[in-house]
Structure 1
Amino acid sequence: MSPLPFWRSRSVRRIAVQTAFIAILVAGLGLAIVTAHINLAAQNMTSGFAFLTKSTAWEMNFALLPVSRDDPYWWFMLMGVLNTLFMGVIGLSGATAIGLVVGLMRSGRNPAARLLGTIYIEVFRNLPLIVQLYFWYAVATSLPGPRQALQAHGFLASSRGIYTPGLGVSYGAAVQMLTALAVGGLAAVWFVTAQRFRKVERPARRAGLWAILGVTLATCILAAVLGHEPGTLWITTPELAGLSIKGGVRIQPEILSLALAIMLYGGAYVGEIVRGGFKAVGRGQIEAARALGLTNWQVFARVRMPLAFRAMLPILINQYVWLIKATTLGIAVGFSDFFMVIATSITHSGQTLELIGILMAGFLCINFTLAAVLNRLNRAIALKGNLVGVAT
């Protein structure tokens, strides 16, 4: 029996179809690029990324690092990314804390707590996020002016923002301290959850964790000492000075309103995820833990919470990625996040296609990184295999 011609092979046909499909996509993309280049040339518009090194000639109302109108576009975009990550960390942390409390209220036996948790979820989950953002921004900007600012225990609240006590260190030292805390916290979480360190003996693991925390604390103290001006107070409190407020740390209305909106809106969804995670824990496992003589707190901390966390983490990953993308709504109130920097750069430079590409690539990197880290954590805490009892 003679062999079949190669073109009649199913695997060859599949490869040919996939190759043709990819070739059509590449050709379509190339045609779109050539057409866009021709149209831009016809309108005397240049393409490329040379504009990234030019000065912007505009200012940002908030940045974690020093920014001036003479800085190039790439520096402004980097500051926009940092602002987005900064707001993402605040929003995700607050939403997680609120969601945990609301989820526990909804899962508890107290009828009043369950009712309050239900009311919270039904109110904040069913109101659009943009509506909540406008509401909190209106509240923040409707506060009294600096001369009539509300004062309480070292805190001031005015239409210019919320002022809190702060460390008497330079701005650069404060950024270094926050960076050290972020890096140290991530290193501690990685050291505790990484699979490679689970084989290390417990005393050595405890010593390693304390070493990471010690280095982090020492770095923060060193940055604070070097950044403190001799002869000044270590703790500064906001004080009225005519039409302005000096001292302390200012939280701008844009930051306050966006953070509150993301935390309260995201907390409603996280609360339902937490409730579902606790419901996924079998009653038999809880009864078995109580039969072993564990207290209610031990049952919660060692049985219910770990098992519920394993059940809720895959859904939390999707919610966290969504909340990171929700930071783009900050443009509605003037918060200088990555999206607003790109939109302003398009207005000033006219490089629409390049800047849209940078925007998409930036959010893809942010969300892919977040999802990859959380998926790695999910794989690290997942129960391996199934526990099947075999009768003999």
Structure 2
Amino acid sequence: MALLQHQKSRNALLQILYVGVLLALVVTAALTARHNLQAQGILSGWNFLWKSTGWDMTFSLLPTSSSDPYWWVLLMGVLNTLFLGIIGLTFATLVGGLVGLARVSDNKAARLLGTIYLEIFRNIPLIVQVFFWYALANRLPSPRQAIEAGGALLSNRGIYLPGLNIAGWSVAAGFLTLALGLTLLLWLALARRFRRVPPVLRRRRGLAVMLVTLVTLAAIFFLGHTPGTPLLTLPELKGLNIRGGYRIQPEVYALAFAIAIYGGAYIGEIVRGGFIAVGTGQTEAAKALGLSEWQSFTRIRLPLAIRAMLPILTNQYVWLIKATTLGIVVGFADFFMVVASAITHSGQTLELIGILMAGFLIINFSLAAVMNRINRAIALKGHQNRS
């Protein structure tokens, strides 16, 4: 009884009781679900991950076949989602930046165009836009009448681009190496521990990272190249189809284009809000110091606007990553579609839904952690008056 008289002790006991009740509910639900599944003849467990799927993926960055196990196909689904998410976020950011700058421009025509773009694409549901762009892609000419531009061919079967004649694993390894190099460059530029390093030394480190990245890419592509074949492969019409080069399927570029266009409208408003958040006092101070319009924009308005945008951009990026699940409506083999197909063929519903939720939690938490780390690195620390 004396223990319960202390506020801290009572709070600790209440928290233990609360957590215990939650764990009991979870365990009870799990046992009940397992009993019901066994009564229906449905086996639970994770052994199915090592069984062959028996079906092919419509798109994958690395080679896949119907004899691959479920864990490999699920991993390819995650890579497809990351691939589409990176492309969608990149182009949505570029489109949103242009729209946001147009919206805050002094030019009335630019503001009008930015407003028209915003009101059109922000108010049409994303799934409708996905259907529209995919239908438009399927209305392109057949391979025999493919549109040629700069060595690339555009048809209703996809976009064919000139590419390197290398193995699939080397392409994936090259993308990973490039991503690691860019991450390291960003860390060297933003980390606080390097801010006291002389600028000359920082530039040398950056050049060294770029050189190592390029050399590693060259080595990966050299090892992935098949001996006796030309290094560059060009798309060309052979029979009724196009051979050679890299093919970008209509499902891929239609979905990426829809995410970029739709997400760009929202990011444009975020960019506009970031520039509006910059006070006029900073701009007037820049003019008083004799800075040009370009110097005032790049050194004062843009950095301050980015600091105001980042917290909201994080939420928008996370939302756009989740929007990749709409790939199922056009047949793109993203993580969600792969899990849905795996549920149909294996019947392991609870396990696969758990994998799906855990996968998106890891992806979105990682993205939010990176964005929050960048936000903390560039945040301006205020001064507090202490009495």
TM-score (norm 1): 0.95
The equivalent position to 2:9 in structure 1, one of 2, 8, 12, is 12
Q: Which runs of 5+ in 2 are unaligned?
A: none
Is 1:70 paired with 2:58? no
2:163 matches 1:166:
yes
1:117 to 114, 120, 140: 114
SS at match of 1:156: strand
2:196 paired residue number: 199
Aligned to 1:59: 56
| Amino acid paired to 2:161 | T
Question: What SS does the corresponding residue of 1:52 show, helix, strand or coil?
Answer: helix
Map 1:322-361 to 2 at 5 A: 322-361=319-358
**TM-superposed deviation, 1:232:** 4.4
Alignment of 1:275-290 (within 5 A): 275-290=272-287
Among 190, 193, 196, the alignment partner of 2:187 is 190
Quote the offset at 1:156 in angstroms: 1.2
How far apart, CA to CA, are the structure 2 residues paired with 1:166 and 1:17? Answer: 63
What is the distance in 1 between the residues matched to 2:227 and 2:200?
A: 41
Amino acid aligned to 1:209 = G
Alignment match, 1:381 = 378
Q: Aligned partners of 1:360, 1:67: CA distance in 2, in Å?
A: 23
1:29 to 26, 34, 41: 26
1:82 aligns with 2:79: yes
> CA separation in 2, counterparts of 1:163 and 1:156?
5
Report the equivalent of 1:261: 258
Residue 176 of structure 1 corresponds to 173
Residue 149 of structure 1: aligned partner: 146
Alpha-carbon separation, structure 1, partners of 2:53 and 2:164: 32
Give deviations 1:365-386, integer Å, cap 9, x for gaps.
Answer: 0000110111011001000123
In the alignment, does 2:75 pair up with 1:39? no
Q: Aligned letter for 1:95?
A: A
Name the aligned partner's letter for residue 256 of structure 1.
Y
Q: Is the 8 A contact 2:61 2:168 kept in 1?
A: no
What is the Cα deviation at residue 82 of structure 1?
A: 0.6
**Whole-angstrom distance in 1 between the partners of 2:8 and 2:221:** 65
Once the two structures are TM-superposed, the CA of residue 149 in structure 1 deviates from its matched residue by 1.6
Q: Distance in 2 between matches of 1:259 and 1:329?
A: 11
Residue type at the aligned position of 1:180: T
- Can you give the 5+ residue segments of structure 1 that lack an aligned partner in the other structure? none
What is the DSSP-based 3-state SS (H/G/I as helix, E as strand, rest coil) of the residue aligned with 2:206?
helix
Residue-by-residue CA offset, 1:49-99 (whole Å, 9 max, x unaligned): 011011111110111111111111001111111111101100100000000
2:102 aligns with 105
Residue of structure 2 aligned with 1:306, choices 303, 326, 346: 303
- 1:96-139 alpha-carbon deviations (Å, 9 max, x no partner): 00000000000110000000000011111000000000001101
Please give the per-residue CA displacement for 1:233-282, whole angstroms capped at 9, x wherever unaligned: 44332111111101121110110111011000000000000000001111
For residue 327 of structure 2, give the secondary structure of its aligned residue in structure 1.
helix
Q: Is the 8 A contact 2:64 2:73 kept in 1?
A: yes
Corresponding position of 1:92: 89
Alpha-carbon offset, residue 152 of structure 1: 2.4
Aligned residues: 385
Q: Secondary structure at the match of 1:63?
A: coil
1: distance between equivalents of 2:312 and 2:149?
40
- The aligned counterpart of 1:136 is 133
* Worse-matched range after superposition: 56-65 or 286-295: 286-295
How far apart, CA to CA, are the structure 2 residues paired with 1:78 and 1:174?
A: 16
